[in-house]
A and B are shown apart, each in its own frame.
Chain A
Amino acid sequence: MRPVRGPVRPRPRPGARATPAASLLLLVLVLTGLLPPAPAAAAGDVTTEDARVPVGEGDGAAELDTTLYLPASGAPAPAVVLAHGFGGSKQSVASDARDLAGRGYVVLTYSARGFGDSTGQIGLNDPRSEVADLSALLDRLAARDDVRLDADGDPRVGVAGASYGGALSLLAAGYDDRVDAIAPQITWHSLTAALFPSQVGEPAADTVAATPQAEDGGVYKRLWSGLFFGVGSAPSGGLLGALGGGGGGAPAAADLPAALGSVDPATVDPQAVEQLLTCGRFTPEVCAAYQSAASTGTLTPEVAAVLDRSSPSTVLDRIDAPTLLVQGTQDSLFGLGQADANARGIAADGTPVKVVWYAGGHDAQASEGTTADLRDQVAGWFDWHLRSADDPARGPDPGTGFSFPAPTGVTASVGTVQGGSRTVTTAAYPGLVGTEAAQRSPVPVDGPLQPVVTPAGGTPAAITVVPGLGSLASALTGTAFEIPGQFAAFESEPLGEAVEVVGASTIDLAVASPGGSATLFAKLYDVAPDGTTTLPAGLVAPLALSGLSADPTAPSTVSVTLPGIVHRFEAGHTLRVVVSSTDQAFALPAEAGVYSVALAAGGNAAALAVPTVDGRSESTGGTSRWLVLLGVLVALGLLGWLAAVLWGRRRRARVSRVEPDGEDVPLRFTGVTKAYKDGFVAVRDLSFEVRRGQVLGLLGPNGAGKTTSLRMLMGLIRPTDGRITVFGHEVHAGAPVLSRLGSFVEGTGLQPHLSGRDNLRLYWAATGRPAADAHMEEAIAVAGLGAALDRPVRRYSQGMRQRVAIAQAMLGLPDLLVLDEPTNGLDPPQIHAMREVLRSYAATGRTVIVSSHLLSEIEQTCSHVVVMAKGQKIAQGTVEEIVGTGGSVLVGLADDADTDRAVAVLEGLPGVAVERTDEGLVADLDGTSRARALQALVAADVSVEAFTPRRRLEDAFLALVGEEA
């Protein structure tokens, strides 16, 4: 048997490894109420106590391996006992236990006798051993300070478990009155009915999945039983340990060689060895029952006695603990009918019962979401029924309703990965005491009398289900494997509208068998219009028939209950009832035979009675939450819009203090500093101003901070300190005053795939200003590209791009034009033309700022200049002031011998001072014109090779450039 997941499974806490962004997101989602907050389970604070507890006496003595999980707070808390499934141990439920303890319960887990590290033999939930063990453990819980007591020696305790553990919880509630609430999962009502099913006879009750069971046993469920027994018979404690230990299954603590040495062949009883090898950890009684059943395939009274003793069916009337019954729809071992019978039995006395069906079971693992949901349901059940009324953690009343996965037409294996499983809930489980009976609607099926052959030895057999894998075969091929000739089929008309079957359908068949008995298997197929057949959940209803008529013309009528399923038969599909003679999962009669199978009523009157349940689909809100989401989005949008409006208004309200002389000072830098995070200071305490009509040159070597200053002026870079005003308005990113600025800084920024003209047009379109303001033709004239303007920019030369970019800067004739190195890449005539353009532009009363690292460039274009180096201003003034035209000249002589004579001649002129340098003589003319000085030299017959104006600044500037280089 596959280990079954317990009711509670830990889920990694959401966001445990999430990024801050994800945490923020989660916070937002939780705050907006769209996602429920995760339960604040502080599982980390749970402490555990391990103990080995001796139980029973005499032959039944055993030692149980237990672990107690204690919540953080030591105050008396209700207790929960978690019992594990068959083949598991206390470790199988450890994570569930930790979670429940995190919710504030004292949780006891233990390995049942015969499992894990516990000693003793498996008695299949024998009331004398396993159930008594649980009572002994309850005694121990009652003795603890940290467990809440109902009375002296009576702890407030719930019991939960799946499968084997689930049956134990039912039996414990029946035998021990101290159990206050139980939550058995995927477990049995009657082991006889589960292992020897025969779903023949009138339905036992009005409940949806009521499944009749023949009194004298049915068809032996061979494969499952074998698996079941196989798990328990493997001596899990170690064979050698069991032999040598004498306790019958003591844990093999010693390693192999040591164990070998400890076994003396002479002392080993051959009978004990055989018992051990064939029965493993089962008690001899259980072992004998299995061997009898497995070899004959029939239910003897001895076997029935063993199975009934282990079945909750005998004690249901004694259970008065509120019961949460969880059963899986994918379960060929303990079907929905088992939980149905339990629910009926327990509810008969008025005990509260809630029934939950989920997509999963012994055949298919439930999806993560379903598992987590079940965990919450179990915890919720205990919260309500174990906690006192004034406990804030008690939670809502889980009620006594019924929920089941919404029927889909998707086959099991596809459905589980589909993920999105909705749950349908109803107020009550239909058909229980005090509730309305289940609705059954007729679906007419039709088909003639058909012979059904049963082969000798039972092979070949139909394959419908593989234990633990469920309808694997049907999922793989889309159809279960039916042997031709071995089945009779009765089919409905294509459905006009979809039918959702929730529970077990019934149908009356007419069967005749020459021998008077027959073993048949009834199933309900979903047949798609294209012929694809699906066997929902892979379930079959075995029928063990006896006392049948031998005459096919006068057959016996047999009422058959088909397997309990949750399935949606889509419109256009047909329902097909198939009655076959073989199924490889069951023990089959060895003799060959031919049965005749027909519908009891014949013709169209023969109806399949299909149970349906009207419920509220619990898709957590359905359409309403979409409306909520829409509402939230609209609300957020409105809030955002409102915030933007208010913010904009506030922003407009504090329109920056406008400097009164703004119109006359298009640009003013006041103590502007730009320092980067790495400590580099690009611009330091820069202050200057530009007046209207000026052409200002920003002069400095590369890296002097010119471009950074221009970027700050454009609002692209935020100054660390200081203030930049344009026309009296302070500049910041997106300042409206920037609309009076035209710029060309570092790179053309043209889109290479567009023509020059399209670039200009799109640029202007992006400003959103009227097309008439662009003065496009004037700008195009500046670019002077002619026909080339309509070619893509990527084919332009550097100079052409440069001119388009300058034209772009001049679009709209901005009042302040900023150009960074505008003449780079232009040829001399273009440079000349550009200078003319800039000068005439300034002449209209507009202002131009040009940066350059070339002194001559500045000298020829600008009226004013600011000299920068290393981020600082080192000089400022008119070009005349700075360049100092008429100041000094450099005189180069053809013959160095003339030097002294030349000095004498020059110094002879009024006010002239001469200095000898490596390059030649430098004469400070101080008012004397250059023409006169040259004339004097020529007149003195000094052969002059060079006579060039010398700027005062040039030395300093060259020195700076030289330093940088």
Chain B
Amino acid sequence: MTTTDDPRSGRVQPTGAVAGYRPERTLRLSVELRRQFRRRRTLGVLALMVALPLVLIGALQLGGAEEAEENARINLVDVATSSGLNFTLFVLFATTSFFLVVVYALFFGDTVASEAQWGSLRYTLATPVPRMRLLRQKWLAAFVLSVGALLAIVVTALVAGGIAFGFGPVQTPVGVTLAQGDALLRLAGMVGYLAVHLLVVGALAFWLSTVTDAPLAAVGGAVFTMFVFAILDQVEQLGAVRDYFPTAEEFAWTDLLQTPVDSGDLFRGVVQSLGYAAVFTALGFRHFARRDVTS
């Protein structure tokens, strides 16, 4: 730095950055969340999360439960109206294989691709937000939003269901009764499990989001993949290969209703989900690190 006469030389750091710029302060989580919460999509999904349990309560009170799909697993529909906790379990059961999948895919798949579509990605990157940091912050924000949505639906179901059906203990389809405290603990476990298990969808959507500039392609691609696996899961001939599907163990959280709890499938589900999520996330980072941003 020979330019001592430069009036601006005091504003420059040795790295070449302007004074006041610190990579680790760029795109803080609070800022990213603020950006996301300004979007109608985010608010819409959260509103839907709150509305769905209310709609289900209405449907159950109209006798719509008969229409609910029969499932070979423990059938939570039969006992959905016995208490608020029961209703919450039913809501989780009804949303696991489709609704929550879409929500996760939406929050994770939209995150990078929508920025690319708006053209704001290049300005964020030129700020500069280091690419790995950008992805990390986006991933965390999507995770926070997804878990927030999951919590929103559970809390709404718990409160609204409690008001509608009473704050009683859980009645499992087997006829076992779980005290409220115990049941809440188990419910927390279920939410935790779902939050982790759905990461498979999220991470896949996230990866796709770094590949394509079309948010719809990323979200749709992830949801589509999950559905394909859900369908393949019905093919008995595939045998044990199905245990390695990303959709495997998606209902394992119902094991938490057993007494004593059998955590075998839960464990497998968690480990497998984390594995898949790690692989997909790593693919996303790897792709984005090398990619030419032309959007």
Contacts and interface: CB of A to CB of B under 8 A. Distances in A.
B21 A767 contact: yes
Contacts, number: 250
Contact of A745 (B2, B12, B15, B122): B122
Contact of B125 (A620, A733, A750): A733
B16 A740 contact: yes
B239 A11 contact: yes
B293 to A, nearest CB: 4
B21 A714 contact: no
B241 A12 contact: yes
Interface stretch (B45-53, B101-109, B266-274): B266-274
Interface string A24-62: 111011000011000000000000000000000000000
B267 A625 contact: yes
A372 interface: yes
A909 B20 CA distance: 62
A905 to B, nearest CB: 54
Nearest to A812: B18
Interface string A708-734: 000100111110000000111100011
A642 interface: no
Interface stretch (A200-208, A516-524, A657-665, A854-862): A657-665
Given A421-B262, A660-B2, A749 B122 contact: yes
A762 B264 CA distance: 46
Nearest to B79: A530
Contacts of B238: 12
A768 interface: yes
Interface in A762-791: 762-763, 765-770, 773
A762 B294 contact: no
Interface string B38-57: 11100000000000000000
Interface in B86-124: 118-124
A753 B40 contact: yes
Nearest to A725: B16
Interface string B1-26: 11100111100111111101111111
A808 B8 CA distance: 21
A290 B120 CA distance: 85
A711 B294 contact: yes
B174 A12 contact: no
A498 interface: yes
A753 B36 CA distance: 11
B186 interface: no
Interface in A322-372: 368, 372
B3 A664 contact: yes
A775 B270 CA distance: 49
B68 interface: no
A532 B175 contact: yes
Interface stretch (A219-227, A411-419, A438-446): A411-419
Contacts of A528: 174-175
B26 A768 contact: yes
A655 B263 CA distance: 50
Contact of A765 (B2, B20, B34): B34
Interface stretch (A14-22, A98-106, A386-394): A14-22
A532 B265 CA distance: 28
A927 interface: no
A638 interface: no
A728 B31 contact: no
Interface in A400-455: 406, 408-411, 414, 417-422
Given A22-B244, A716-B292, A408 B258 contact: yes
A740 B28 contact: no
A738 interface: yes
Interface stretch (B59-67, B128-136, B148-156, B157-165): B128-136
Interface string B222-260: 000000000000000011110110000000100100111
A655 B177 contact: no
A715 B74 contact: no
Contact of B23 (A422, A664, A734, A845): A734
B139 interface: no
A71 to B, nearest CB: 23
A760 B101 CA distance: 34
22 contacts: A12-B241, A15-B241, A24-B279, A25-B278, A408-B258, A414-B73, A414-B174, A418-B74, A528-B175, A570-B176, A633-B274, A652-B15, A664-B3, A716-B126, A729-B15, A740-B17, A749-B118, A751-B38, A754-B38, A768-B26, A773-B20, A845-B8
Interface of A: 11-12, 14-18, 21-22, 24-26, 28-29, 34-35, 368, 372, 406, 408-411, 414, 417-422, 498, 528-530, 532, 568, 570, 572-573, 617, 619-623, 625-626, 629, 633, 652, 655, 658, 660-664, 711, 714-718, 726-729, 733-741, 743, 745-754, 758, 762-763, 765-770, 773, 808, 812, 814-815, 845
Which 4 residue pairs across A and B have the least CB separation, nearest first? A768-B25, A737-B16, A528-B175, A736-B17
Given A406-B262, A734-B130, A751-B120, 12 more contacts: A408-B258, A530-B175, A572-B177, A619-B264, A633-B274, A737-B16, A745-B122, A748-B119, A751-B38, A766-B27, A769-B21, A814-B18
Interface of B: 1-3, 6-9, 12-18, 20-28, 31-32, 34-35, 38-40, 72-74, 118-131, 133, 173-177, 238-241, 243-244, 252, 255, 258-260, 262-267, 270-272, 274-276, 278-280, 283, 289, 292-294
